[in-house]
Amino acid sequence: QVQLQESGPGLVKPSETLSLTCTVSGVSISSSYWSWIRQPPGKGLEWVGDIYHSGTTNYNPSLKSRVTISVDTSKNQFSLNLSSVTAADTAVYYCATEGTYAGAFDIWGQGTMVTVSS
Amino acid sequence: QSALTQPASVSGSPGQSVTISCTGTSSDVGGYNYVSWYQQHPGKAPKLMIYDVSKRPSGVSNRFSGSKSGNTASLTISGLQAEDEADYYCSSYPSSSTLIWVFGGGTKLTVL
């Protein structure tokens, strides 16, 4: 079965770059779009952006100037870089994808908490 | 892109039915039949409950149903059970023009 696993530092200093990786197992990453979604503590879900295996990306306009999502097909992974972070970027970051059901996120990683603090 | 609008909270007693609304625009909810609903328990990842406005993924109880009228989608949970207490989020598949996914602000369901 398809599984997603986020990894990366749990603590990032203000003004630095947040970097996370999502490892995909059970399916080739060359089969779908792959998204990052975040959730600040006590708040709702926010779509950050997505990437296709070809490298085509789409980003949330509110984050577009600071976000880069990339894919490594050889490792079956995709990554998120968010630059110039502030406390407002503190959140649980999930990777997710449309699996069986197109037009919806039916496969999610467990999420990883990232805190921005000095 | 504005988030979809959901009520902050709803509540119901065991056995009752509750409905959660999700209001968007003709560019998202109203324009496409790609509305989905997610259930999230504390500390857990969201779980897909409804896709394509009204379809249930395999394994999801038939107590959960979805519908849409104009720019507003709805999730109805019938025969409320204690385990249904959770946060619920709606989402709309990106339009071909924006390619941006949007989520609702979330609704806290309390089972009294």
Secondary structure (DSSP) of B34-57: -EEEEEE-TTS--EEEEBTTTBPP
Pairs of CB atoms within 8 A across A/B: 65
- Compute the average pLDDT of residues A21-39: 94
Residue A47 burial (C-beta neighbours within 10 Å; 0-12, 13-18, 19+): buried
- Compute the average pLDDT of residues A99-108: 91
The pLDDT assigned to A102 comes to 83
Strands in B18-23's sheet, in edge-to-edge order, are: B18-23, B72-77, B64-69
Quick one: which of B16, B25, B98 has its CA closest to B68?
B25
Question: Which residue in B has a C-alpha nearest to residue A111's C-alpha?
Answer: B45
Name every chain B residue with its beta carbon within 8 A of the beta carbon of A44. 3, 89, 103-106
Q: What are phi and psi of A29, to 5 degrees?
A: -70, -10
- Give Cα B94 distance to the centre of its chain: 16
Name every chain B residue with its beta carbon within 8 A of the beta carbon of A64. none
Q: How far apart are the first and last CA of chain B?
A: 35
Query: pLDDT (tens digit, 9 = 90+) per residue, B42-76?
Result: 999 999 999 999 999 999 999 999 999 999 999 99
The letter for the amino acid at B82 is A
pLDDT > 60? residue B2: no
B93: contact with A, CB 8 A cutoff = yes
Mean pLDDT is lowest, of A74-83, B12-21, B24-33, for B24-33
Distant-in-sequence, close-in-space partners of A81: CB < 8 Å, separation ≥ 6: A17, A18, A19, A67, A68, A69, A70
B1: contact with A, CB 8 A cutoff = yes
pLDDT > 90? residue B32: no
Nearest Cα of chain B lies from the Cα of A16 at a distance, in angstroms, of 26
Distance (Å, whole) CA B69 – CA B75: 12
Q: Which of A43, A44, A104 sits opposite B48 (nearest CB)?
A: A104
Distance (Å, whole) CA B49 – CA B40: 10
- Compute the average pLDDT of residues A7-35: 95
The pLDDT assigned to A53 comes to 85
| β A3-7/A11-12 pair status | unpaired
pLDDT interval class at A15 (50, 70, 90): very high
Distance (Å, whole) CA A88 – CA A82: 12
Query: pLDDT (tens digit, 9 = 90+) per residue, A35-54?
Result: 999 999 999 999 999 999 88
B89: contact with A, CB 8 A cutoff = yes
Distance (Å, whole) CA A19 – CA A67: 10
Query: pLDDT (tens digit, 9 = 90+) per residue, B71-100?
Result: 999 999 999 999 999 999 999 987 666 778
Name every chain B residue with its beta carbon within 8 A of the beta carbon of A38. none
Nearest Cα of chain B lies from the Cα of A99 at a distance, in angstroms, of 11
- Compute the average pLDDT of residues B101-107: 94
The pLDDT assigned to B3 comes to 82
| Percentage of residues in chain A having pLDDT higher than 70 | 100
CB contact under 8 A, A101 and B55: yes
pLDDT > 70? residue A111: yes
- Compute the average pLDDT of residues A10-21: 98
Count CB atoms within 10 A of the CB of residue A14.
12
Mean pLDDT is lowest, of A30-39, A75-84, A103-112, B88-97, for B88-97
Distant-in-sequence, close-in-space partners of A101: CB < 8 Å, separation ≥ 6: B36, B48, B51, B52, B55, B57
Number of Cα atoms under 13 Å in the Cβ half of residue A20 = 28
Q: What are phi and psi of A31, to 5 degrees?
A: -120, -5
